[in-house]
Amino acid sequence: MKSSVINKASVRKLDAELFTPFTISSGSHSSMTNALFTLQSAGGEKGWGEAAIATHITGETRAATMRNLERAGEALLGLDAADYLGAMCLLEKRLDGNRAALAGAEMALLDLASRLQGVSLWRFFGGRQARLKTDITVVIGSADAALDFTRKMRARGFRIFKVKTGSDMDEDFRRLEAVRKAAPGCPVYLDANCAYTAAQAEGFLKGLARRGIVPEVVEQPVRKGDDDGLAWLSRRLPMPVCADESAYSLDDVFRLLRKKAVGALNIKLTKLGFLRAREVWTLARAKGLKLMMGEMVESELASAAAAAFAGGLGGFDFIDLDTPFFIKDSGLRGASFLSRNGVYSLDRVKAGIGVSPAGGR
């Protein structure tokens, strides 16, 4: 048997406590409850992938994701990791209805393939931008909590603050004012996670402008499906309107671009898988859209994979890969290329994604 043939696959839970609940307008994570997928080649090389479960956003559950990963593992046995593209096409079909599982399975496959080649996943995707600095998210909560958090993170070296909004407008104004007070002059991104109507979103942005706060990008102000609302806002707002929940598939992106509904797209591997994420990148670049690389609540493993994708391909305007900073201990090791102030130094990764479970299991 060739040493690159896949001969083992396994799935286990990947759990971690969070320093603070990750609360957005559509729900909250009180802990990380993901799944770890491992592939092994006949020569003993391993690759790891993470499936990030965000039930309140995608409807996907961990139980179903783990079952689907087990089945995907069985389907991959006997395939040659050298034909990773053929294997990815197979996974795209089998796991289309469970994108977290799709992203996790493709991640393990690409980690294995790039480790077998002795190159980093960043280099595998093109090696264009070696350093990426992530923003840090200010979750929904009190203005006092936002003030403390922003002060602490600014002191640590974070310089871009992505503020979640959409719970209560007055509370959101107070939280954004707190962020500005704690980090004057620092860029702010806004993410409402579908909370507003288009008119409410415009009203909220006007209210912020009266307070002297102008976000650099406004992410998913309206509900998924409201393309007209996105287009209306794109015509009226000075900053790019970014689709996240509305851009869940290649079809979605194709439609949004044809309608000129957005000025930016948030690419998440967990929404699209790697193949379609790359196609979205291609389409968006061709049309001159701005790009954000984002994630769900993901450990260093999936975050580093997303960073390798974004830094490898290049051309990303907004990097939102900060959830490792919310996690206490995932049990994963190797992410020393991610600094305490949110910089991914991707040229320091020797092979694959560069993150693996403690003890290699």
Interface positions with Mg ion (CB under 5 A)? 191, 219, 244
Which two tokens mark 300? 């260093």
* Closest distance of CB 268 from Mg ion, Å: 8
CB of 356 to Mg ion, least distance (A): 28
Q: Report the residue number, 219 or 226, with the smaller CB distance to Mg ion.
A: 219
Min CB(248)–Mg ion separation in Å? 12
H or E element at residue 273? helix 269-286
Shortest CB 244 distance to Mg ion, Å: 4
User: Residue 88 or 201: which CB sits closer to Mg ion?
Assistant: 201
- Position with the least CB separation from Mg ion: 244
Sign of the alpha-carbon torsion through 331, 332, 334, 338: negative
Nearest distance from C-beta of residue 247 to Mg ion, angstroms: 10
Of 60 and 191, which CB lies nearer to Mg ion in the complex structure? 191
Buried b (16+ CB within 10 A) or exposed e, 138-173: bbbbebeebbebbeebbeeebebbbbbbbbebeebb
Question: Which value, in Å, is the radius of gyration of the alpha carbons in the chain?
Answer: 20
Reduced to 3 states, what is the DSSP secondary structure of residue 242?
Answer: strand
d(CA 230, CA 289) in angstroms, rounded, equals 14
Q: How far is the CB of 144 from Mg ion (least distance, A)?
A: 24
Q: Whose Cβ is closer to Mg ion: residue 25's or residue 68's?
A: 25
Contact 230, 257 (CB under 8 A): no
Return the H-helix or E-strand segment holding 167. none
Q: Which is nearer to Mg ion, 123 or 268 (CB)?
A: 268
Instruction: Select 243 or 349, whichever has its Cβ closest to Mg ion.
Output: 243
